[in-house]
Chains A and B, each alone.
Chain A
Amino acid sequence: MKKTRLFGLILVTMTFVLLINFTIVAETMTIATPSDALTLDPIMLSETPTISVQMNIFEGLVHLDENMDIQPGLASSWEVEDDTTWVFHLQKGVKFHNGDDFDAEDVKFSIERAKNHPKSQFKSPVGQVESIEIIDDYTIAIKTNFPYPILPRKIGRILICSKDYVEANSDQHLQNNAVGTGPYQVSSWEKDEEMVLTAYEDYWGEKPEVDKAILKPISNPATRVSSFLSGEVDILMDLPVQDVERVEEAKGVKVVTRPGLRLIFLGVNTQEGPFSKLKVRQAVYHAINEDAIVEHVMNGHAYKAGQFYPDTIFGYNPDVKRVPYDPEKAKQLLAEAGYPDGFTIQFDSSNDRYMNDGQIAQAVAIQLARVGINVELNVQTKSAHFDKVLSRNTDFYLLGWTNSLGDGIQFLDGLLHTPEDSYGRFNLGNYSNQEVDKLIEEAAMTLDEEKRSKIMQEAVRIGIEEVAYLPLHYQQQLYGMKENIKWTPRPDKYVKISTMGFDN
Chain B
Amino acid sequence: MLIYTGKRIWQTLIVLFAVSIIVFIMININGDPVQTLLPPEAEPWAVEELRETLGLNKPLYIQYFNFIKNAVKGDMGISYYQQVPALSLVLERLPKTMELAVAAILISIVIAIPAGMYAAIKPESILSKLIMFSSLAGISLPTFLSGILLILLFAVNFSLLPSSGRGEVAQFLGIHSSFFTLDGLKHIIMPAATLGLYMVAMLIRLVRAGMQEVLKQDYILFTRAKGMPAKIVYIRHALKNTMIPVITVIGLQLGRLIAFSMITEKIFAWPGMGKLILDSINRLDRPVIMSYILVIAALFAAINLVVDLLYYYFDPRIELG
Where the two chains meet, the residues of A that have a C-beta atom closer than 8 Å to any C-beta of B are: 35, 38-39, 41, 44-47, 118-119, 121, 123-124, 127, 171-172, 175-176, 190-194, 216-220, 222-224, 226-227, 229-232, 382-384, 386-387, 390, 401-402, 404, 410, 414, 422, 425-426
CB distance from A147 to the nearest CB of B (A): 18
Contact call B35/A386, Cβ cutoff below 8 A: yes
Nearest opposing residue in chain A for B85, CB measure: A172
Q: Is the CB–CB distance between B46 and A230 below 8 Å? A: no
Q: How far is the CA of A232 from the CA of B183 in the complex (A)?
A: 14
- Residue numbers in A under 8 Å from B82 (CB-CB): 38-39, 175
Task: From known contacts A226-B151, A384-B31, infer whether A192 and B276 are also in contact, taking CB-CB under 8 Å.
Answer: yes
Closest to B39 in A: A46
Residues of chain A lying within 8 A (CB to CB) of residue B45:
127, 422
Report the bound CA distance from A422 to B46 in whole Å: 11
Give the distance to chain B from A177, nearest Cβ to Cβ, in Å: 12
Nearest-neighbour CB distance to chain B for A411, whole angstroms, equals 9
Query: How many A-B contacts are there with CB distance less than 8 Å?
Result: 130
Considering the complex, give the chain B residue whose CB is closest to the CB of A193: B271
Distance from A404 Cβ to chain B, minimum over Cβ atoms (Å): 7
Q: Among A216, A220, A229, point to the contact of B165 (Cβ < 8 A).
A: A216
- On chain A, the residues within 8 Å of B269 by CB distance are 192-193, 216-220, 223
Residues of A within 8 A of B152 (CB): 226
Cβ distance A268 to chain B, nearest Cβ, rounded Å = 19
Residue from B36, B40, B49, B284 within 8 A of A123 (CB atoms): B49
**Contact between A222 and B148 (Cβ–Cβ < 8 Å)?**
yes
**Shortest 10 CB-CB distances between A and B: which pairs?**
A383-B31, A192-B271, A193-B271, A218-B269, A227-B163, A230-B155, A38-B81, A46-B39, A226-B151, A123-B46
Using Cβ atoms and an 8 Å threshold, which residues of chain B touch A401?
Answer: 40
A190 touches B156 (CB 8 A): no
For A383, the chain B residues whose CB sits under 8 A away are: 30-32, 36, 284
- Interchain nearest-CB distance for B180 vs A (Å): 16
CB atoms of B31 and A232 under 8 A apart = no
Q: How far is the CB of A124 from chain B (nearest CB, A)?
A: 5
Which of chain A's residues have a CB closer than 8 A to the CB of B148?
A: 222-223, 226
Tell me how far the C-beta of B7 lies from the nearest C-beta in chain A, rounded to whole angstroms.
39
Known: A127-B43, A127-B46, A422-B44. A175 touches B31 (CB 8 A): no
B258 lies within 8 A of chain A by Cβ: no
Contact B279–A35 (Cβ < 8 Å): yes
Bound Cα distance A89, B35 (Å): 37
> Can you identify 21 A-B contacts, CB atoms within 8 angstroms?
A38-B82, A39-B82, A39-B83, A41-B83, A47-B81, A119-B50, A121-B39, A121-B42, A127-B43, A218-B164, A218-B269, A219-B269, A220-B269, A223-B163, A223-B269, A226-B152, A226-B163, A232-B163, A232-B164, A383-B30, A414-B40
Q: A124-B46, A192-B279 are in contact. List 15 more A-B contacts (CB 8 A).
A: A38-B81, A39-B83, A46-B42, A175-B82, A216-B164, A216-B165, A220-B266, A223-B164, A226-B151, A226-B155, A232-B155, A232-B163, A383-B32, A386-B32, A422-B44
In Å, the complex CA distance between A382 and B281 comes to: 12
Which of the four size classes fits the interface of chain B?
35 or more
Q: How far is the CA of A383 from the CA of B286 in the complex (A)?
A: 14
- Check A172 against B31 for contact (C-beta < 8 Å): no
B53 within 8 A of A: yes
- Whether A194 lies near B266 (C-beta < 8 A) is no
Alpha-carbon separation in the docked complex, A384 to B29 (Å): 10
Q: Is the CB of B271 within 8 A of A219?
A: no
Please measure, in the bound complex, the distance between the C-alpha atom of A122 and the C-alpha atom of B271, giving whole angstroms: 29
Name the residue of chain A whose CB is nearest to the CB of B154: A230
Tell me if B11 is interfacial: C-beta within 8 Å of chain A: no
Chain B residues near A (Cβ < 8 Å):
30-32, 35-46, 49-50, 53, 81-84, 148, 151-152, 155-156, 159, 162-166, 266-269, 271, 275-276, 279, 284
With most chain B CB atoms within 10 A of its CB, the pick from A38, A39, A121, A192 is A192
Q: Which residues of B contact A172 (CB under 8 A)?
A: 83-84
Given A192-B276, A227-B155: A387 in contact with B40 (beta carbons within 8 A): no
Please indicate the chain B residues that have their CB under 8 angstroms from the CB of A118 in the complex: 49, 53
> Which residues does chain B contribute within 8 Å of A217, judged by CB atoms?
269
Quick check: A414 and B41 within 8 Å, CB to CB? yes
**Chain A residues near B279 (CB-CB < 8 A):** 35, 192, 219
The minimal Cβ–Cβ distance linking A186 to chain B, given in whole angstroms, is 15
Q: Which residue of A lies closest to B161 (CB)?
A: A230
Q: How far is the CB of A358 from chain B (nearest CB, A)?
A: 17
**A201 smallest CB distance to B (angstroms):** 26
> A384 — which chain B residues lie within 8 A by C-beta?
31
- A425 with B159, Cβ < 8 A, contacts A119-B53, A121-B38, A192-B269 known: no
Given A226-B155, A422-B43, do A39 and B31 touch, yes or no (CB 8 Å)?
no
Contact call B275/A219, Cβ cutoff below 8 A: yes
Given contacts A193-B269, A223-B164, A230-B156, contact A124 B42 (CB under 8 A): yes
- Of the candidates A119, A175, A425, the one whose C-beta lies within 8 Å of that of B84 is A175
Decide yes or no: A190 and B271 within 8 Å by CB, A175-B82, A227-B164 being known contacts.
yes
Give, as a whole number of angstroms, the nearest-CB distance from A181 to chain B: 22
**Cβ-neighbour of B43 out of A124, A171, A220 (below 8 A):** A124
Min CB–CB distance A237 → chain B (angstroms): 13
Docked Cα-Cα span, A194 to B187, in Å, equals: 14
- Asked if B41 and A124 make an inter-chain contact with CB atoms under 8 angstroms apart, the answer reads yes
Complex CA distance for A208 and B269, rounded to whole angstroms: 29
Q: How far apart sit A194 and B38, CA to CA, in the bound complex (Å)?
A: 25
- Cβ of A121 and Cβ of B151 under 8 Å apart? no
Contacts of A44 in B (CB 8 A): 83
Q: How far is the CA of A390 from the CA of B267 in the complex (A)?
A: 33
**How many Å from the CB of B45 to the closest CB on chain A?**
8
Distance A369 CA – B276 CA, assembled complex (angstroms):
43
Q: Which residues of A contact B38 (CB under 8 A)?
A: 46, 121
A383 to B45, CA, bound (A): 21
Q: Which residues of B contact A227 (CB under 8 A)?
A: 155, 162-164
With the chains together, A216 CA to B165 CA distance in Å?
A: 8
> Do residues A426 and B156 form an inter-chain contact, with CB atoms below 8 A?
no
Most chain A C-beta atoms within 10 Å of own C-beta, residue among B31, B43, B164: B164
Report chain B residues within 8 Å CB of A176: 84
